[in-house]
């Protein structure tokens, strides 16, 4: 591979968690080519991860789900006009492959699903000069974590070091914001702050949203030193209003409407963080906080091996279907696992 690479394009069009897991690859690439200008095409959901990241010179926001075909073609024309020396696609999406092809870059690296997805393999073949073969089969244990999959994209460039930690860069004002909010809680010296991420995903596979409140009540009852720090996703307003009225105000504190940077800096102050399979899991890992991640019953083996917390102590739980006998013991299992992680 030539060492004179000056312009690099990364294509990362998915969600926040996927973008966080790409930061070890980004760090390795930036160290290999410190003088190169790195541009990243991101979605509006993943953009906050890179908003304050000096390793990326330009962030171009593009949402495939809402873009028209002319807009997608215009992006292809822009990519070609920029004349990048190296293009790396971190997603298997069709238009990411097309933009790579139209770029005309002499080095184009992307994933190849192989015979598991033969049609994808056919149209991807001309898109990339270097294909990384990883079967994306949701019904088998993943041989690689997502962080490791991204690092494989760099092997053609001679970068073979193991993946480092997740490294997110936050707004310089965010640590002060978190310190002020934390001080205002007036927590006792022996408090055990446990993070709980509220998300509509808790209600998947037939589960009631009320299970979140049940877990928190039992958590507070277990040890009087426990203080629950709630972070909330969209769609939780009704449940949270009810919980705020029912739970003791000195032991349950809710944070909503935070920026990504504020979220990361707040989580850094927790002893442990609990979340279903969402981007919150990877925020906790990036903040260096031990994490309990609850994955759905469906495709548990694949999802938990591919997207478990990276680089921090963690535990995984498979949430049983609510119709099974194991469902009744699930809240107790969450508490026991959290305590083990503490």
What is residue 233's predicted lDDT score, i.e. its pLDDT?
Answer: 73
Domains delineated in the chain: 7-157 (3.40.50.2000), 174-341 (3.40.50.2000)
Q: Measuring CA to CA, which residue among 306, 309, 324 is closest to residue 197?
A: 309
For residues 123, 127, 132, 133, the Cα torsion angle rounded to the nearest 10 degrees is 10
Q: Measuring CA to CA, which residue among 196, 167, 148, 191 is closest to residue 292?
A: 196
- Condensed to tens digits (0 to 9), the pLDDT of residues 262-288 reads 999 999 999 999 999 999 999 999 999
> Tokens for 11?
């294509």
Whether 224 has a pLDDT exceeding 90, the answer reads yes
Query: For 194, how many CA atoms within 13 A lie in the half-sphere containing its CB?
Result: 27
- Condensed to tens digits (0 to 9), the pLDDT of residues 90-100 reads 998 889 999 99
What is residue 119's predicted lDDT score, i.e. its pLDDT?
Answer: 61
């Amino acid at each position: 591979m030539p060492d004179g690479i000056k312009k690099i394009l990364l294509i990362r069009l998915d969600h926040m968690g996927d973008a966080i897991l790409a930061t070890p690859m980004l760090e390795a690439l930036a160290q290999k080519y410190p003088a190169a200008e790195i541009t990243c095409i991101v979605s509006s959901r993943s953009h906050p991860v890179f908003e304050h990241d000096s390793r990326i010179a330009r962030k171009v926001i593009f949402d495939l789900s809402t873009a028209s075909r002319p807009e997608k073609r215009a992006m292809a024309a822009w990519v070609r006009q920029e004349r990048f020396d190296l293009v790396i696609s971190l997603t298997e999406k069709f238009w990411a492959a097309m933009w790579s092809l139209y770029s005309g870059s002499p080095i184009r690296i992307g994933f190849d699903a192989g015979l598991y997805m033969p049609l994808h393999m056919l149209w991807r073949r001309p898109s990339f000069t270097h294909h990384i073969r990883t079967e994306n089969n949701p019904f088998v244990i993943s041989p690689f974590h997502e962080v490791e999959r991204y690092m494989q994209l760099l092997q053609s460039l001679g970068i073979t070091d193991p993946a480092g930690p997740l490294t997110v860069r936050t707004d310089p004002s965010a640590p002060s914001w978190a310190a002020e909010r934390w001080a205002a809680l007036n927590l006792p010296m022996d408090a055990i702050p446990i993070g709980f991420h509220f998300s509509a995903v808790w209600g998947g596979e037939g589960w009631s949203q009320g299970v979140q409140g049940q877990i928190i009540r039992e958590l507070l009852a277990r040890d009087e030193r426990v203080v629950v720090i709630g972070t909330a996703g969209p769609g939780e307003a009704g449940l949270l209003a009810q919980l705020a009225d029912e739970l003791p105000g000195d032991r349950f504190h809710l944070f909503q409407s935070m920026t990504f940077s504020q979220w990361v800096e707040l989580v850094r102050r927790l002893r442990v963080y609990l979340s279903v399979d969402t981007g919150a899991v990877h925020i906790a890992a990036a903040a260096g906080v031990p994490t309990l991640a609850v994955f759905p019953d469906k495709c548990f083996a694949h999802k938990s091996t591919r997207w478990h917390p990276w680089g921090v102590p963690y535990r995984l739980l498979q949430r049983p279907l609510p119709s099974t006998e194991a469902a009744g013991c699930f809240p107790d299992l969450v508490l026991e696992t959290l305590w083990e992680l503490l």
